[in-house]
């Protein structure tokens, strides 16, 4: 699967993406809202295995793709159904901090969400963020997501005074 956006190319992951993925996972700006275990080389390896595995599924339940700019991997985004024939899916996105603030996340998100609502037949897209993550909240609001509430997160989040914020975007509210 490949999606061309205005400035970006979203493409399948390959084995050779590991270093670029881990390079930004170990950037402290990226790590602000994650636990240290999620920022290790082992965790990045596990994630890449997961992404490569999802791409092998048939029929495909989810699309988790590499976001690339001029052949450089700058992040990842995905739409993942919880079950094969379901109509709700989880949306997620992350970018290398070196590329924040240029509209790349919005561009990639619109491309993958469009694919989810059309080809994957998703009716409700769900998302989660840490309540303090203003960059994520700004992005999902721009895309049309609405906050459906806050709930208690795991102990590490509680210890920092943060909660989990849940978001939803219905196909009927999607403007492309
Ligand atoms: C969430 C995340 C992907 C948002 O990235 P981002 O670069 O801030 O998001 P956008 O692509 O929407 O860019 C927004 C900014 O680009 C600016 N911009 C510059 N050129 C632009 C253009 N051509 N088009 C659109 N926006 C542009 C916008 O004005 C906006 O600035 P603002 O935030 O000061 O208002 C990023 O913070 C991230 O990777 N965080 C770590 C992982 C994470 O938290 N993921 C979410 C978990 S739920």
Q: What count of Cα atoms within 13 Å lies in the side-chain half-sphere of residue 79? A: 26
By three-state DSSP, how is residue 166 classified? strand
The values of phi and psi at residue 11, to 5°, are -140, 170
Residues constituting the chain: 176
* Residue whose pair of structure tokens reads 């709930």 in the numeric block: 151
Q: Ligand 1 mean position to 161 CA, how many Å? A: 24
| Interacting residues of 34 by C-beta distance below 8 A, sequence separation 6+ | none
Which residues are near ligand 1 (CB < 6 Å)? Answer: 30, 33, 93-95, 100-106, 127-129, 133, 135-136, 138-139
Q: What are phi and psi of 89, to 5 degrees?
A: -145, 160
**Res. 76 pLDDT band, cuts 50 70 90:** very high
pLDDT in tens, 50-70: 999 999 998 888 899 999 999
* DSSP state letter for 148: E
Mean pLDDT of the 73-88 span? 91
DSSP single-letter state for residue 74: E
Identify whether 59 is preceded by a cis peptide bond (ω within 30 of 0).
yes
pTM above 0.95, yes or no: yes
Per residue in 40-52, pLDDT (tens digit) is 999 999 999 999 9
State CA 174 to chain mean position distance. Answer: 17
**Structural domains for the chain:** 2-173 (3.40.630.30)
**Residue in 100, 130, 137, 167 to alter for ligand 1 test, most ligand atoms within 8 A of Cβ:** 100
* Model confidence at 84: pLDDT above 80: no
């Amino acid at each position: 699967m490949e999606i061309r956006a205005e400035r970006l190319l979203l493409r399948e992951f390959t084995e050779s993406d590991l270093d670029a993925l881990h390079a930004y996972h170990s950037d402290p700006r990226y790590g602000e809202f994650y636990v240290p275990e999620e920022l290790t080389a082992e965790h990045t390896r596990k994630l890449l295995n997961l992404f490569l595995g999802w791409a092998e599924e048939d029929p495909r339940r989810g699309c988790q793709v590499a976001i690339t700019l001029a052949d450089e991997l700058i992040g990842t985004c995905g739409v993942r159904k919880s079950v094969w024939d379901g109509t709700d899916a989880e949306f997620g996105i992350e970018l290398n901090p070196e590329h924040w603030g240029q509209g790349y996340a919005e561009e990639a998100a619109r491309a993958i969400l469009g694919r989810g609502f059309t080809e994957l037949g998703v009716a409700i897209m769900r998302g989660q963020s840490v309540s303090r993550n203003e960059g994520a909240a700004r992005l999902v609001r721009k895309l049309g997501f609405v906050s459906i509430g806050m709930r208690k997160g795991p102990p590490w989040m509680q210890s920092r005074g943060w909660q989990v914020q849940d978001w939803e975007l219905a196909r009927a509210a999607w403007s492309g």
